[in-house]
């Protein structure tokens, strides 16, 4: 599990450090730094997956596209470089990147890697000791942290829903669960792993007797969309899989576009959660997308149960229903309060301001800052003539 992220001089932040939990919730105002925080992990993952010999911070790639060094460096800092880091299992890694002029473009290349182990003093590795972003002969603890980053799964707010045909992953050696940034591989994993056993801790209590991926996926889908079921079928002589949904056990399966965006958006999230692994963090942007309030609350409860079972999820959300689903899961003993980290992002004096909010064992939040999911109460008060 990634226990912390650190960044310096990235976009709106001069400096930021966040402690992470099995379930980390980022919420708050637009343009307050939520996405930038998570881009620390996405940029590192994207760069580590590129050519092993290249020390460049890949600003543009399959996970995230941010433009040029000038687009990502904080404009209020004169220093022409930035730093990105993580902490995990007693190992802290901080990569330092500086602006370098290549033949026809500017880039950010790794100038050093700072390493700190919990049982020893920190040290710095210069570029001559790096093969790409990794030491030429990495210590096992460094290698473990790097591999955890490389296995990261990202599900963006935009998902592939306008088709019924989906591709097979090019690298079939990948462990199950990487559904792709737009959910394009979820149908394949359902077909491939449909008969695999799901741990009891991840199973819906009301459907505990049948614990295959297919059965649990349909159980959770039905929890969010009552009666709905999912099916995936390979298309003969192609590298494609056809996805279909139905809204009741006796109804016909239909193309995703004829059922509604809600199921299509939730489907890859459910697959990623059920096939989650402890060594593979999952970042989800807008888990509430296209879901009605009840479905949003159920998604929050689902993510809480998956995180409590050993996976790690980092979500960016604007939904009080998702948060309330998580709070209910805490109250119900599904997940412990200390397994949830909730951050509220706002802006003070033109700078990002982040507050960590604690959820107690009853699911309550004592500190409720202005702007934190209070708009419904404000609107209702206005309608009632109280303000």
Can you spell out the DSSP letters for 137-193? S--HHHHHHHHHHHT-EEE-SS---S-SEEEPPS-TTSPTT---TTSTTHHHHHHHH
- Per-residue model confidence (pLDDT) at position 152: 94
**What are the tens digits of pLDDT across the range 351-365?**
899 999 999 999 999
**pTM summary value:** 0.94
Of residues 54 and 334, more confidence is placed in: 334
Distance in angstroms (rounded) separating the CA atoms of residues 363 and 311? 21
The CA distances from residue 25 to 30, 151, 228, 316, 379, in Å, are 15, 20, 28, 6, 25
Confidence band (pLDDT; 50, 70, 90) for 369? confident
- Per-residue model confidence (pLDDT) at position 380: 78
Confidence band (pLDDT; 50, 70, 90) for 173? low
Confidence band (pLDDT; 50, 70, 90) for 53? confident
Domains of the chain from N-terminus onward:
1-152+285-355 (3.40.50), 157-280 (no CATH)
Distance in angstroms (rounded) separating the CA atoms of residues 26 and 29? 10
- Per-residue model confidence (pLDDT) at position 387: 58
Q: 337's torsion region: left (phi>0), alpha (psi -120 to 50) or beta?
A: alpha
Share of residues in the chain with pLDDT > 70 (%):
98
**What are the tens digits of pLDDT across the range 64-88?**
999 999 999 998 888 889 999 999 9
**What are the tens digits of pLDDT across the range 40-49?**
999 999 999 9
Does residue 59 surpass a pLDDT of 90?
Answer: yes
Distance in angstroms (rounded) separating the CA atoms of residues 116 and 282? 25
**Average pLDDT across the chain, whole number:** 92
Q: How many CB atoms within 10 Å of residue 1?
A: 16
**What are the tens digits of pLDDT across the range 104-143?**
788 999 999 999 998 888 899 999 999 999 998 888 999 9
Share of residues in the chain with pLDDT > 90 (%):
76
**What are the tens digits of pLDDT across the range 238-292?**
999 999 999 888 889 999 888 888 999 999 999 999 998 877 899 999 999 999 9
- Per-residue model confidence (pLDDT) at position 174: 62
Q: Please answer whether residues 195 and 211 qualify as being in contact, where contact means their C-beta atoms are separated by less than 8 angstroms.
A: no
Distance in angstroms (rounded) separating the CA atoms of residues 121 and 374? 46
- Per-residue model confidence (pLDDT) at position 122: 87
- Whole-angstrom Cα Rg for the chain: 22
Q: Give per-residue burial for 345-369: e unless 16+ CB within 10 Å, then b.
A: bbbeeeebebeebebeeebebeeee
Q: Cα-flanking dihedrals φ and ψ of residue 290, to 5°?
A: 65, 15
Does residue 378 surpass a pLDDT of 90?
Answer: no
Distance in angstroms (rounded) separating the CA atoms of residues 385 and 185? 51
Helix axes of 261-274 and 293-308: crossing angle, nearest 10 degrees: 10
Distance in angstroms (rounded) separating the CA atoms of residues 288 and 262? 9
Does residue 56 surpass a pLDDT of 80?
Answer: yes
Distance in angstroms (rounded) separating the CA atoms of residues 263 and 252? 16
Q: Please answer whether residues 287 and 297 qualify as being in contact, where contact means their C-beta atoms are separated by less than 8 angstroms.
A: no
- Per-residue model confidence (pLDDT) at position 172: 63
């Amino acid at each position: 599990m990634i226990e912390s992220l650190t960044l310096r001089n990235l976009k709106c932040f001069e400096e930021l450090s966040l402690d992470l939990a099995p379930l980390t919730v980022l919420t708050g105002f637009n343009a307050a730094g939520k996405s930038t925080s998570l881009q620390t992990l996405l940029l590192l993952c994207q760069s580590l997956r590129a050519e092993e010999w290249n020390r460049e911070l890949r600003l543009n790639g399959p996970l995230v596209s941010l433009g040029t060094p000038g687009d990502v460096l904080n404009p209020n800092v004169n220093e022409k470089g930035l730093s990105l880091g993580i902490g995990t299992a007693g190992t802290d890694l901080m990569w330092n990147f500086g602006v370098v002029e290549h033949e026809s473009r500017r880039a950010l290349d790794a100038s050093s890697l700072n390493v700190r182990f919990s049982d020893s003093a920190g040290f710095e590795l210069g570029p001559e000791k790096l093969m790409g972003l990794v030491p030429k002969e990495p210590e096992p603890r460094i290698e473990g942290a790097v591999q955890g980053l490389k296995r990261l799964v990202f599900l963006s707010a935009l998902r592939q829903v306008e088709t019924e045909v989906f591709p097979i992953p090019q690298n079939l050696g990948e462990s199950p669960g990487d559904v792709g940034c737009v959910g394009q591989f979820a149908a394949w994993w359902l077909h491939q792993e449909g008969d695999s056993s799901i741990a009891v801790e991840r199973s819906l209590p009301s459907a505990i007797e049948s614990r295959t991926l297919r059965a649990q996926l349909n159980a959770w889908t039905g929890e969010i969309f009552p009666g709905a079921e999912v099916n995936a079928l390979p298309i003969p002589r192609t590298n494609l899989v056809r996805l279909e949904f139905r809204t009741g056990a006796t109804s016909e399966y239909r193309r995703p576009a004829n059922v509604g965006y809600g199921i299509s958006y939730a489907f890859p999230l459910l697959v990623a959660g059920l096939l989650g692994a402890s060594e593979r963090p999952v970042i989800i942007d807008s888990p509430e997308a296209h879901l009605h309030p009840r479905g949003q609350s159920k998604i929050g409860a689902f993510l809480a149960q998956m995180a409590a079972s050993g996976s790690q999820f980092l979500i960016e959300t604007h939904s009080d229903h998702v948060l309330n689903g998580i709070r209910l899961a805490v109250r119900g003993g599904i997940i412990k309060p200390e397994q949830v980290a909730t951050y509220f992002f706002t802006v003070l004096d033109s700078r990002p301001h982040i507050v960590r909010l604690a959820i107690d064992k009853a699911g309550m939040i004592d500190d409720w800052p202005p702007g934190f999911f209070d708009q419904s109460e404000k609107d209702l008060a206005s309608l009632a003539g109280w303000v």
